[in-house]
């Protein structure tokens, strides 16, 4: 049994050494991963500081300008809309006045023509009634 126990001890020692090496490899991988992570994060922070921050500041400035322009355009649009509404109201009022004035003048002119016609008819002795014209021959 002495030989078997020595062989078992050798195998146990080999397994212990392999387990220790596996643990060291895992610890090395963990440390290497942590170092790689730190380097990548430092690179990302540097990239953000050098590239993204200036671009973001420019974009923010552009957005502020766009907001200002949009506000001005909105204000001007409102002013133009008010001006157009006022102008349309004035045009409607003017059109109503012109229509009323023309209607009054036309009514006066028609009244005068009718009065003159009535006077002419009374002077000529007609009774003012018109007889319809006779139908033309051949027409039904």
Q: What is the spatial distance between Cα 11 and Cα 69, in angstroms, rounded to a whole number?
A: 82
What does the pLDDT look like over 26-42, one tens digit per residue? Answer: 999 999 999 999 999 99
Q: Tens of pLDDT along 84-138?
A: 999 999 998 898 888 888 888 888 888 998 999 888 888 887 655 555 555 666 5
Give the CA radius of gyration of the chain: 54
Which secondary-structure segment (H or E) carries 69?
Answer: helix 53-124
- Region of 128 please: left (phi>0), alpha (psi -120 to 50) or beta: left
88 in any annotated domain = yes
What number is the average pLDDT over the span 3-23? 91
Give a yes or no: residue 92 inside a domain. yes
Question: Residue 110: which domain range?
Answer: 19-121
Q: What is the pLDDT of residue 126?
A: 63
**What is the model's pLDDT at position 1?**
45
106 part of a folded domain = yes
HSE (side-chain half, CA atoms, 13 Å) at 115: 6
Overall number of domains in the chain = 1
In a domain, 139, yes or no: no
Q: Is residue 126 part of a domain?
A: no
Output the pLDDT for position 27: 97
- pLDDT tens per residue, range 41-91: 999 999 888 888 888 888 999 999 999 999 999 999 999 999 999 999 999
Q: How far apart are CA 5 and CA 22, in angstroms?
A: 25
């Amino acid at each position: 049994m002495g030989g078997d126990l020595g062989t078992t001890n050798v195998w146990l020692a080999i397994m212990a050494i392999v387990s220790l090496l596996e643990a060291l490899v895992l610890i090395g991988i963990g440390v290497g991963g942590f170092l790689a992570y730190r380097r990548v994060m430092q690179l990302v922070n540097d990239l953000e500081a050098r590239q993204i921050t200036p671009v973001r500041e420019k974009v923010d400035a552009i957005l502020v300008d766009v907001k200002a322009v949009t506000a001005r355009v909105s204000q001007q649009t409102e002013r133009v809309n008010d001006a157009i509404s006022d102008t349309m109201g004035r045009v409607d009022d003017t059109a109503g006045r012109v229509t009323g004035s023309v209607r009054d003048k036309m009514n006066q002119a028609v009244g005068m023509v009718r009065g003159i016609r009535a006077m002419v008819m009374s002077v000529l002795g007609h009774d003012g009634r018109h007889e319809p014209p006779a139908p033309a021959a051949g027409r039904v």
